[in-house]
Structure 1
Amino acid sequence: MKSHTLRNLCWLLALGFAGSTALAAAEVKFIHPENFADAGESGRDREQHLQQIAEHLQRQAEKFAPGKQLTFEVTDVDLAGEIEPVGRRMERLRVMRSVTSPRIEFRYLIREANQPDRQGEAQLRDLGYQMRGSRYWDSDPMRYEKRLLDDWFQAEFVPPKKP
């Protein structure tokens, strides 16, 4: 039991440092990741999923908001699907259903030239996540969450086309 608790503590410390490191354009912090609705089943899964979310936020910030500094405080993650026992061996697999849509919540601050530009909160959810196409491979386990973040960046930073 002690090694399990120690491993979880090490995971949280490592995640705190990994989540705070940032590329030039974005800083990503996970606020109480141990309380997230569903960031993965095991500590290793959670660490990998949150790292992928942080890296995706950083890449998208560089792409959509060059020259701006973004800070994200992720307050909740609920991955698409749900872990369920499947098959004769009752192996635990992530099963996708229409009622298990992805959800990510965060606070953000956008700065330009070290001056606050805008800030807010985002509660992202894609209820039709299985019905839409994606530019990500089916083998990417985070494809629905990445698309959710892509949609937010597109709406937040790309001006609508004029008729």
Structure 2
Amino acid sequence: MNSVKKIAMLMCIGLPAFVHAGEAMVKWHDFNDYRDVRATNQAKGSYHKQIASSIEKHAIKLAEQLPKGYKLNLEITDVDLAGDVSYRGANEIRVVKPIHFPQLTLNYSLMNETGKEIGKGNDIKLKDMSFMDKIKMGRDESFYYEKRLLTEWFGEEILPKIN
């Protein structure tokens, strides 16, 4: 393949990264104040870090759909993970049943490339009472239902603001 074709191919592959390159920042409150982030088989502190890391990575991935220079600021004010922790013998496990649906409460602001606020919301309550009735797409991953809440909200609330 000649160098012109290689450069053209690389430009086509890399172009979406330049067109869509928004960013996200996630702010957390004290995990002890959240409704249900109870750890089962690991230390509370490391479990809270795992939740934060997983949700932050997901928010960053969602923000990549935003135009270059756009910034989404999220403040997670409450978390109620899908399922409920209960004892099974000597162990605690998270049992996921339809009655214990995932819920997130957040504040957000969306800034365009010039820093102008084009969207804002406070005390946004995300919940999915029929989360177990939907087809679960993709592999099993940590905090799947909470991430799906964010993905659906992002598609319905944030993406329409950039068009």
**For this structure pair, what is the TM-score category when the shorter chain's length is used for normalisation?**
0.7 to 0.9
CA contact (8 A) 2:22 2:63 kept: no
Q: 1:28-63: CA deviations, max 9, x gaps?
A: 100232201112322211110121111111111112
Structure with higher Rg: it is 2
Measure how far apart 1:103 and its partner are: 0.5
* Structure 1 residue aligned with 2:48: 46
| Cα distance in 2, alignment partners of residues 79 and 136 from structure 1 | 19
* Structure 2 residue aligned with 1:120: 121
Measure how far apart 1:95 and its partner are: 0.1
* Structure 1 residue aligned with 2:96: 96
* Structure 1 residue aligned with 2:9: none
TM-score, length of structure 1 as denominator length: 0.75
Structure 1 gap segments, 5+ residues each: 1-22
Structure 2 gap segments, 5+ residues each: 1-20
Please identify runs of 4+ aligned residues in structure 1 that moved more than 4 A.
none
How many equivalent residue pairs? 133
* Structure 2 residue aligned with 1:55: 57
* Structure 1 residue aligned with 2:25: 27
Identity %: 28
Range 72-81 or range 140-149, more displaced: 140-149
Measure how far apart 1:74 and its partner are: 0.7
Larger RCO, structure (CA 8 Å, separation 6 or more)? 2
